[in-house]
Amino acid sequence: MGQYNHILLAADFNNESEIVEKRAAALKGTFSATLSIVHVLEPISIAYGGEFPVDLGDLHKELEKQALSQLRELGQKLGVPEDRQHLEVGITEKEVLRVAKDNSVDLIVMGSHGRHGLALLLGSTANAVLHHADIDVLAVRVSKNSK
């Protein structure tokens, strides 16, 4: 395995992601690498309730506020300064790859969940990143029993 200089942790803040965070931190230490974190919020569209449109903008702002708080907390836990903590809005796999490219990352670390629901039809985020990345991707298997 070659030397990694800049590692990007794709954080999803679910209950099972601690093992992914630990793996990224261990790799940071092993390679004396720079660590950055990205979390992506998928955009919330306008939902229609009957004849009247319901704007979910306030809900999105609250979700963004909560995500930023979680990102800052994780950054502090892993020793990642705010300028390397990225909160993005968009399609997860595209934003992870864009942040990796924009920041000269040479390894992406992310969780790989078992496929279920729509993921069976659409494919997992980890799978999409893995197949479109020009750099190494470590997909850490996470499950409810991980820790």
CATH architecture observed for domain 6-141: 3-Layer(aba) Sandwich (3.40)
pLDDT tens for 111-125 read 887 555 444 444 478
| Helix (H) or strand (E) run with residue 30 in it | helix 18-31
pTM of the model: 0.84
SS3 51: coil
pLDDT tens for 23-70 read 999 999 999 999 999 999 987 764 455 555 656 677 778 889 999 999
pLDDT tens for 84-103 read 999 999 999 999 999 999 99
Cα 95 to Cα 54: distance, rounded to the nearest angstrom: 27
Sign, Cα dihedral of 54, 59, 64, 70: negative
